[in-house]
Amino acid sequence: MAKLLGIATHAQSKSDIITHERILIGLTTGLTGDYRGQKDPKKQVTLLSKATWDAVTALIGEPLDWTQRRANLLIDDMDFSEALIGQQVQIGAVLLEITCETDPCSRMLALNPKLKDALTPDWRGGARCKVLREGEIKIGDPVHILKRL
């Protein structure tokens, strides 16, 4: 079973990353204090796979903390793909819907010249989600992809 390994927000684009042990996620706000949550309801929360991030950093030959990717939630034991668009993800009591891929931005080039290219194929940059059910999540919460009805 997958679980939530990390929670991160940033108040503005390019601002410092703040990590959390627990956080509230709202229907219209996304993660409390994260600038992204109010911009586009279909892109309120970003998910990143730990296994994929570890593979990418090994590929570029540089260990980087997952927060450098600027994603909101780090999840173990889960990969993302186009087949998951529309799929619901439950984290604790919160329910999210995967809406699209998180494309790597040019900021990744500043971290490592190879990073953006390494993140580009196969949804390695993660997934974007909209919030369907609000609530609080915390590190260690179980993460489930719900079966389609």
CATH number of this structure's domain 2-145, picked from the four choices 3.40.1350.10, 2.40.33.20, 3.40.50.620, 1.20.140.10: 2.40.33.20
pLDDT in tens, 118-144: 999 999 999 999 999 999 999 999 999
- What count of other Cβ atoms lies within 10 Å of the Cβ of residue 89? 24
Does the pLDDT of residue 71 top 80, yes or no?
yes
pLDDT in tens, 10-63: 988 888 999 999 999 999 999 999 987 777 888 899 999 999 999 999 999 999
Say how far apart CA 136 and CA 31 lie, in whole Å: 9
On the CB side of 39, CA atoms within 13 Å amount to 14
Length of the chain: 149
Range 55-76 burial, b when 16+ CB lie within 10 A, else e:
ebbeebeeeeebbbbbbbbbbe
